[in-house]
Structure 1
Amino acid sequence: MTPPNTSFTYAPPDTPLDILHEDHELLLVNKPAGLLSVPGKGEHLADCLIARLQAAFPEVLLVHRLDMDTSGVMVFARTPHAQRHLGLQFEKRHTKKAYVARVWGEVAEASGHIDLPLIVDWPNRPLQHVNHETGKPAQTDWRRLRVEDGTTRMRLFPKTGRSHQLRVHMREIGHPILGDPFYATGPARDFPRLMLHAESLKLRHPDGGIGMTFRAKVPF
């Protein structure tokens, strides 16, 4: 999703595709930060990861998305069967995802669980916010990795897949993700990119069901 302000200029990185794995059903890619997963509205937002992939793999089909500002592992399908199979895995929460984030402040606890329902903030969309009456369930487990000069490196495990879930959940516990143009303020926002990376994705292969885990090195 693109930031909801008129001063935003979309300048996606001009980097080669980083293919993590390819076979007859799957294509795993390390998405760079700053690149849309799918096209936005308007020709100026046409450049995106799936369009770049389809130039090399015309049959590629969308399964899920990462926010424009988030980097890391994404899976695409190469057949309609694989798209259905993977879509059900995401829907039934059979996939396992792990993210690495740098957040503002020094997190005191070693680990924790966040259970805060989320819904779109309609007057300010695409922003999301916590709403205990109408929000959809959203849960995140987290583990502190290390404290770094007044910030904390964390590993995040989303149990649900709500839009902006990790970004809102971190802000709500008082530790916004560094460089977040939506939810961080002040010095926490003054970083060259959103410090959020989809580090690993575990899924079952659509052909045979074997469990596979794919990883992309954290770039920050």
Structure 2
Amino acid sequence: MIDFPILFEDGEALVIDKPAGLPLDTPRAGGVSLDDYLDELRFGFQRAPAPVHRLDRDTSGCLLLARNPKALKRFSAAFEARIVTKVYLGVVQGTFELKHGTIDLALSKISSAANGWRMIAAKKGKPARTHWKVLAEHDGLSLVEFRPETGRTHQIRVHALEGLGQPLVGDPVYGDGDGTGRTLLHALRLEVPRDGKPPVVAEAPIPDDFRALGFTL
């Protein structure tokens, strides 16, 4: 049974409010994933919808699904062309003198047998750019709006650590993993332009674990 809100729906698109902790693919160790819900998300359509982009397991919020292969191709092209507006909220350790800016740090993947894989800032990596703005501060934490231009793996998480000098609260890879049950990152808003049609626009309410730390919009 579907236990998350549908934020947008029409003949070619669905946007769901993905819960934190729900992976898109079935984990190696087993367990529930978005794959288990795709058939229910048909809502009478012949095909099950397919995710257009990716959100980390811990990340909550706006996830776009395409209802047919043609829509999937068009939406994927929009992401590739960087014409999709993506707005995220993250709770970051610490407070900052500078309240807004742009982080330009190329990213590269590294891995080791002992620690697994992670992304790092590297001059020879793939270009990555994120605009950021502090929205609020509370108890030594900052609510930060992130607007990524690119869509690199773990981009916001690494840019928070390397660009702002502090990790996202709860991040077990780029921070200490303490304080919450997950990395506090939320896909707040998504806007996807479409030729000849109104854009796909969706906004996901701020999650309860953000509110529990004193952050609202």
Q: TM-score, normalised by structure 2?
A: 0.86
Tell me which residue corresponds to 2:129.
Answer: 139
1:70 and 2:59 matched: yes
Tell me which residue corresponds to 2:91.
Answer: 102
CA–CA separation in structure 2 for the residues paired with 1:179 and 1:157: 20
Tell me which residue corresponds to 2:204.
Answer: 216
Task: Give the AA of the match of 1:151.
Answer: L
CA–CA separation in structure 1 for the residues paired with 2:147 and 2:119: 19
1:130 corresponds, among 98, 121, 124, to 121
Q: How does 1:1-220 map to 2 (within 5 A)?
A: 16-41=3-28, 44-45=30-31, 47-57=32-42, 58-123=47-112, 124-133=115-124, 135-172=125-162, 173-185=164-176, 189-205=178-194, 208-219=196-207, 220=210
Task: Give the AA of the match of 1:163.
Answer: T
Contact persistence 1:111–1:143 (CA under 8 A): yes
CA–CA separation in structure 2 for the residues paired with 1:210 and 1:126: 40
Task: Give the AA of the match of 2:13.
Answer: L
User: Aligned Cα RMSD in Å?
Assistant: 1.8
Tell me which residue corresponds to 1:6.
Answer: none
CA–CA separation in structure 1 for the residues paired with 2:72 and 2:49: 9
Deviation at 1:194, TM superposition (A): 1.4
Which structure 1 segments of 5+ residues have no match? Answer: 1-13
Q: What SS class does the counterpart of residue 51 from structure 2 fall into?
A: coil
Contact persistence 1:28–1:73 (CA under 8 A): yes
CA–CA separation in structure 1 for the residues paired with 2:70 and 2:50: 10
The number of equivalent residue pairs is 201
Deviation at 1:61, TM superposition (A): 1.6
Please list the CA deviations of residues 153-206 of structure 1 after superposition, one character each: whole Å capped at 9, or x if unmatched: 110000100000000110112121001111112xx6322221110000010246
Distance 1:22 1:50, change over 3 A: farther
Q: What SS class does the counterpart of residue 83 from structure 1 fall into?
A: helix
Task: Give the AA of the match of 2:93.
Answer: W
Q: What SS class does the counterpart of residue 146 from structure 1 fall into?
A: strand
CA–CA separation in structure 1 for the residues paired with 2:123 and 2:26: 32
Q: TM-score, normalised by structure 1?
A: 0.85
Task: Give the AA of the match of 2:187.
Answer: A
Contact persistence 1:77–1:83 (CA under 8 A): yes
Q: Which has the larger share of strand?
A: 2
Task: Give the AA of the match of 2:174.
Answer: Y
Which structure 2 segments of 5+ residues have no match? Answer: 211-217
CA–CA separation in structure 1 for the residues paired with 2:70 and 2:78: 13
Contact persistence 1:63–1:75 (CA under 8 A): yes
Task: Give the AA of the match of 1:142.
Answer: W
